[in-house]
Amino acid sequence: MHASAILISDLHLTPSMPRTAERFFEFLEKEARSHEALIILGDLFEFWVGDDAKARSPFHQAVAKAIKALSQSGTKVYFMPGNRDFLLGQQYAQKAQMSILNDPQVMVIAEQAWLLTHGDALCTADSNYQLFRKVVRSQFVQKLFLLLPTFLRVRIASSLRSKSTAKYQRTQKFTPEINQVKGDVTLNATAALVASLECPRMIHGHTHRPAYHQEKSDGQSWERWVLSDWDFDHPETVLPKGNALSITSEGIRSLDLVRA
């Protein structure tokens, strides 16, 4: 339970995107410090192939150090694994002094219950992805994967990222209406989660479609807030983007993190 919290998602931090990382470090120093809690709803990193693989990386050490500094300043930090970094474990979390959340999770913020999830499990129109998700999230497969040499894990993760990007680009080019459905959460899945956890306020990321929705199904209604992804490094293809949701006693509001 916290009197205030700020939520972010889908930063996809990587050394190859230094401006995005720089904005994150600035965010930790500024916006995040005025809240009791920071909640990261998945995909903090572009990919994660095990805590041991990132143990000596200067970039990932710098991220952990910055998050730890925020935690030591009095802001509690929570991390919910996403589809890119679900292998992030307790070793790195302890180094960064952040607590790992289950997905989904209901948290009380400013005296209201909020249903938090990364969001990929709700994209049930994409049956191929849901099957893939079920396989890679199994403990047996994860244990086998973490037994592989680091270089091989990185190679596999890079290959999966490339295939995912190529598939998205092909779908976006030829059948954007199908991509819109497959890449977004479905009403049925969202309604089922809201009903099972009995919480009418939801926040998620993953879809990269920031918005506020008021939805109804089978006699129940709820509100759904969607967080933006972050990208401050590719002005030639997309406008700089990145937002956060601030929840206080005054309510919830979206913060545009693009510098004026």
Top CATH class of 5-256 equals alpha beta
Percent of the chain with pLDDT over 90: 70
Is residue 206 within 8 Å of 186, Cβ to Cβ?
no
Check whether 53 has a pLDDT greater than 90.
no
Answer whether residue 186 shows pLDDT above 50: yes
Least confident of 39-48, 153-162, 202-211: 153-162
Cα distance between residue 5 and residue 252, in whole Å: 10
Residue 93 has pLDDT above 60, yes or no: yes
More confident residue, 228 or 235: 228
Q: What is the pLDDT of residue 228?
A: 96
The pLDDT of residue 112 is 97
Residue 176 clears pLDDT 80, i.e. is over it: no
Predicted local distance difference test score (pLDDT) of residue 159: 79
Q: Determine contact, residues 82/101, Cβ cutoff 8 Å.
A: no
pLDDT band at residue 9 using 50, 70 and 90 as cut-offs: very high
| pLDDT for the residue 143 | 86
pLDDT of residue 156: 82
Residue 56 has pLDDT above 80, yes or no: no
pLDDT digit string, tens, across residues 113-164? 999 999 999 999 999 989 988 998 888 888 888 888 887 888 888 877 665 5
Predicted confidence at residue 44, as pLDDT, reads 97
Which residues fall within 8 angstroms of residue 202, CB to CB, at 6 or more apart?
A: 114, 115, 116, 117, 190, 193, 194, 222, 223, 224, 225
Largest CA distance in the chain: 52
Torsion (CA) 205, 93, 108, 114 in degrees, nearest 10: 10
Can you spell out the DSSP letters for the chain? Answer: -BS-EEEE----B-TT-HHHHHHHHHHHHTGGGGSSEEEE-S-SBS----GGGGTT-HHHHHHHHHHHHHHHTT-EEEE---SSSTT--HHHHHHHT-EEPPSSEEEEETTEEEEEE-SGGG-TT-HHHHHHHHHHTSHHHHHHHHHS-HHHHHHHHHHHHHHHHHHHHHHHHH-HHHHHHHTS--HHHHHHHHHHHT-SEEEE-SS---EEEEEEETTEEEEEEEPPP-B-S-TTTS--B-EEEEEETTEEEEEE-S--
Average pLDDT estimate for 69-75: 97
Confidence band of 259 (pLDDT split at 50, 70, 90): confident
Query: What is the mean pLDDT of the segment spanning 102-107?
Result: 97
Note the pLDDT of residue 162: 64
Judge contact between 233 and 19, C-beta under 8 A.
yes
Q: Where are the domains of the chain?
A: 5-256
At residue 260, the pLDDT reads 53
Arithmetic mean of pLDDT, 19-23: 96
Are 226 and 211 in contact by the 8 Å Cβ rule? The answer is: yes
Quick one: average pLDDT of 232-252?
90
Rounded to whole angstroms, how far apart are CA atoms 259 and 203? Answer: 24
Q: State the sign of the Cα–Cα–Cα–Cα dihedral 164, 170, 171, 176.
A: positive
